[in-house]
Structure 1
Amino acid sequence: MHTFARLIRRYVLAAISILLFLVVLFITSLFWFGYHAGFDWQSHMAYGTGEIADAMIQKNNSLQLDDVHTPEQWMEGYSWAMVLDDSGRIIWQYQLPEHLNHSYTTREVAGFSRWYLDGYPVFCHAKSYGLCVIALPPNSIWRYSVSCSLSLMTAVLHGMFPAVLTIVFAILFCCLLFSWQGARSLQNIERGLDTLSEGEPVSLPVSGFTSDLAKKLNQTSAQLQKRNEIISRRDTARTNWIAGVSHDIRTPLSLILGWAEQLEHDTALSAKTQQKAQRIRIQSEKIRSLIEDLNLTSKLQYGAQPLRCHSVILGPFLRRIVAEFYDSPLANGCTMDLQQAKDTENCSLCIDSALMTRAIENLFNNSIRHNAAPVHVTVQTQRSHGIVQIIITDTGTGYPPAVLHALVHGEGENTPHILGLHIVEQIMEAHGGEVRFTQNVPNGAKTILTLPLT
């Protein structure tokens, strides 16, 4: 069983693939966010602050925006703008709030040049004409500068890639470690399932993440062992009961048969009394046959009947069975016909000849006992693809629908009505063959015995 091994491999590969995908996705998203974050706030402005600062020109001893666009077009999306000279005086402004319209000291310029001026995010550009200050609406963007020593930043940049690799390998190691531990637990479960499938008791250690599953397997194994023990005791009791009853009945039944046969041939008795004795003998023989069938089917069911197989040539074997049965008193009122194909005459079969004879005779008896005389029984043989078939048909009324249903669907086994036919099924199964019961056309019963050739 390699199901759990495949499951673990797929789990490990899937975990590694997902991890690598997440790492690549994180790094890609980080770069994408960093790239676009610097331009997202400018997407609402017609022109960038650098373009506006470059568009300032001196004309008629004053500053003004390039007349390619109107000031409103240049400043679309911005709140205000101003230009300071070297002394901090305002030499140009656009919509500058009144409270901001004054000169600025060096300290004030140093304060707002980095981040904000009175809550307005501002961008400063030092040009030849002065310091150009452009403001955005309050709360429109977030601005903050981070200072760091060059040596620390250099160390971070140089150590970032090894650190990322270390983290990735650490995560992979944890995944492999946990997967290995999980695989060991699942291998124990796999061995337990294999043992359970072979009918052996299972006792798995209840630990790890498969503890619940191991506990369930242990409980299932205990229940199956208990149930198998109950079934074994029941089957043993049944077999012993059948054997004991058969042994106890055998002696009185032999006496009844002997006395009935003596009375049947006693000329001092009347013909009517002799006929009654004959019926007693016939019914007693049926009882003896039924007891033998019960013993045989019980042995075959539990493998207590050893097969004494040897090589048998099909042609002479079938001729002997048909001839002996036809000469027996059981065949009174019936005719028999044996039709063997030429390619089956010398077929070699490895069978228990006694059991196979019993199976065929059971079919003959079934045709004669359950049909009014005269009955014609035909035995045919045919061969194909490494098998040989023995086909037995009669001209009777055929199998009753209930009996045929029980035979085909395996219901009602060991009932007296089909016990002999059930023995045929068991004998064929013991030989690695099969039997099929059906109706003959136009009338009668038909049974097909299939056996493998040697």
Structure 2
Amino acid sequence: MKSVPKLIRRFVGIMLLSSVLLIILNFTLLVIYTLNQSPNGSPWTTAQEVADNLLQDSNGYILTEETANELQNTNVWALFIDNATMKVVWQTDNLPETIPMSYTVSDIASLTRGYIDGYPTFTGEAENGLVVLGYPKDSFWKHMWPSWDYNLIANLPKTVLSILAINIALIFIIYVIANSKLLKSVKPIVSGIQALSTNEEVHIREKGLLSELAININKTSDILQTQSRQLRKRETARANWIAGVSHDIRTPLSMVMGYAGQLESDERLSEDDRKKATVIVKQSERMRNLINDLNLASKLEYNMQPINPERQNLIAVVRQVVVDFINMNIDEKFTIEWETNETLTSCPVCIDKDLIKRAVSNLIQNSMNHNEQGCHIFIRVMAEDNVYTVVVADDGIGATNEQIEKLNHSPHYMVCDENTSEQRHGLGLLIVKQIIFTHKGKMQIRHSEYGGFEVDLSLPMTM
């Protein structure tokens, strides 16, 4: 269930990253928006510039042309209040008619922090009076009482950070609550999928946000379980059928072999008839061996063959097989050579001795069956990287690369219902592969260094 915590961490990480990016984006947009709302700079600075550029001569007050154009372009009016008379002694041409022409001290205080007739006003100090600029009514909003508690300003950074932390925590809590049902629904889904991979029966509660997915997983589990039961039933029937046929054939085959053996040794028969009886005996023995191989392969395939592993010396077991073949007086066109290094005397393994002997015997017999013109058979045992390997090779006709590839990777017809028209003959290599598999070993088929066929059987060492 490592995937669920990983999923939760991913959700939380995305939420936190989204929150931070959202805050940064909002702050950036606020700054951009604020700057765009003040394209003409500070009106207080402009008012002071007008006061500095308002010149007095014999005819009165004159504003420089550049400053006058700037006020006109921004639709701003201006007036100058004389300190002595508290009356307007200069004004721009666009001064509204509703603007008073004389002021008291309280009027000055009010317009400085507020408005005149709804126009936001800003002041600039001149030598003999006060310059007042009036902006369009909807251009600025002025705070009439610009005073703040000192502690509020001093603690503002801490307050902002605290509010920010509270907001993030609140977003996190809302996110977890909103997704708790989803996370709760994900856990059984993940468990169900993991159980499907091990062919376990699965039944997930079909409720919640992922109910549709749970329904499909339950249906999939039912289908897999049905297929598994049908497959086991078919495998059992196949194994029982093979065992029954093998048993039923043995009795009539024994009678055929017995009578053929009698005819083979009956001197009253002609030489030609006795040779025919000999052929019947040999072919009957071949049929018997094929039946025994088929029965053993079936038992190994469906785990019906009892395995009795014991600690054995692999060299002694393989050498015994070689000796048994030599003592059988095999045809002179076949020779068996023992190539195991003499310094290697003990190879302890935990094996079923009879099955391993059967595997090595099948490989030797395989070399004989596929090289009718004769060949040399080379057998050795090697030790490397905590693995013991039995090598059975020959210098016969060998096999093509395509044939070796098929032998290494293609399933046998006993476990594959496809391509039955191209079924391979014989069960020897299949039995060898099954025997090695039951011992947790490996089998590798390749070209031999002698130009023929080679099979390597690897078994784990016993410590």
TM-score interval, normalised by the smaller of the two chains: 0.7 to 0.9
CA RMSD of aligned residues (A): 3.9
Cα distance, 1:356 vs. partner?
0.8
Among 71, 81, 91, the alignment partner of 2:78 is: 81
The amino acid across from 1:433 in the alignment is G
On the 8 A contact 1:383/1:389 being kept in 2, the answer is yes
Report the count of equivalent residues: 443
On the 8 A contact 1:334/1:375 being kept in 2, the answer is yes
Cα distance, 1:56 vs. partner?
3.3
Distance 1:115 1:286, change over 3 A: farther
- Distance, in Å, in 2 between the alignment partners of 1:164 and 1:399 is 77
On the 8 A contact 2:48/2:123 being kept in 1, the answer is yes
On the 8 A contact 1:330/1:365 being kept in 2, the answer is no
Relative to the length of structure 2, the TM-score reads 0.81
Identity across aligned pairs (percent)?
A: 29
SS of the residue corresponding to residue 340 of structure 1 reads: coil
- Distance, in Å, in 2 between the alignment partners of 1:198 and 1:371 is 45
Relative to the length of structure 1, the TM-score reads 0.83
Cα distance, 1:367 vs. partner?
1.4
Asked if 1:337 is matched to 2:337, the reply is yes
SS of the residue corresponding to residue 207 of structure 2 reads: coil
On the 8 A contact 1:307/1:352 being kept in 2, the answer is yes
* Deviates further, 219-228 or 330-339: 330-339
Asked if 1:422 is matched to 2:430, the reply is yes
The amino acid across from 1:123 in the alignment is T
- Distance, in Å, in 1 between the alignment partners of 2:41 and 2:231 is 84
Name 1:452's counterpart in structure 2: 460
- Distance, in Å, in 2 between the alignment partners of 1:257 and 1:173 is 86
- Distance, in Å, in 2 between the alignment partners of 1:37 and 1:399 is 85
Name 1:276's counterpart in structure 2: 276
- Distance, in Å, in 1 between the alignment partners of 2:16 and 2:328 is 81
Distance 1:39 1:321, change over 3 A: same
Name 2:62's counterpart in structure 1: 64
Name 1:214's counterpart in structure 2: 214
Cα distance, 1:145 vs. partner?
5.1
After superposition, residues 15-94 of structure 1 pair within 5 angstroms as 15-23=15-23, 25-27=25-27, 29-30=29-30, 32=31, 36=35, 39-42=38-41, 48-60=46-58, 62-65=60-63, 71-72=67-68, 75=71, 77-79=73-75, 80-83=77-80, 90-94=88-92
On the 8 A contact 1:46/1:76 being kept in 2, the answer is no
- Distance, in Å, in 1 between the alignment partners of 2:397 and 2:278 is 27
- Distance, in Å, in 1 between the alignment partners of 2:8 and 2:303 is 42
Name 1:432's counterpart in structure 2: 440
Cα distance, 1:179 vs. partner?
4.2
- Distance, in Å, in 2 between the alignment partners of 1:382 and 1:443 is 20
On the 8 A contact 1:344/1:388 being kept in 2, the answer is no
On the 8 A contact 1:49/1:123 being kept in 2, the answer is no
The amino acid across from 2:451 in the alignment is N
Cα distance, 1:424 vs. partner?
0.9
- Distance, in Å, in 1 between the alignment partners of 2:38 and 2:196 is 67
The amino acid across from 1:125 in the alignment is T
On the 8 A contact 2:261/2:277 being kept in 1, the answer is yes
After superposition, residues 18-417 of structure 1 pair within 5 angstroms as 18-23=18-23, 25-27=25-27, 29-30=29-30, 32=31, 36=35, 39-42=38-41, 48-60=46-58, 62-65=60-63, 71-72=67-68, 75=71, 77-79=73-75, 80-83=77-80, 90-96=88-94, 100=97, 123-125=121-123, 132-135=131-134, 142-144=139-141, 166-328=166-328, 331=331, 333-399=333-399, 403-414=403-414, 415-417=423-425
SS of the residue corresponding to residue 455 of structure 2 reads: strand
SS of the residue corresponding to residue 339 of structure 2 reads: strand
Name 1:443's counterpart in structure 2: 451
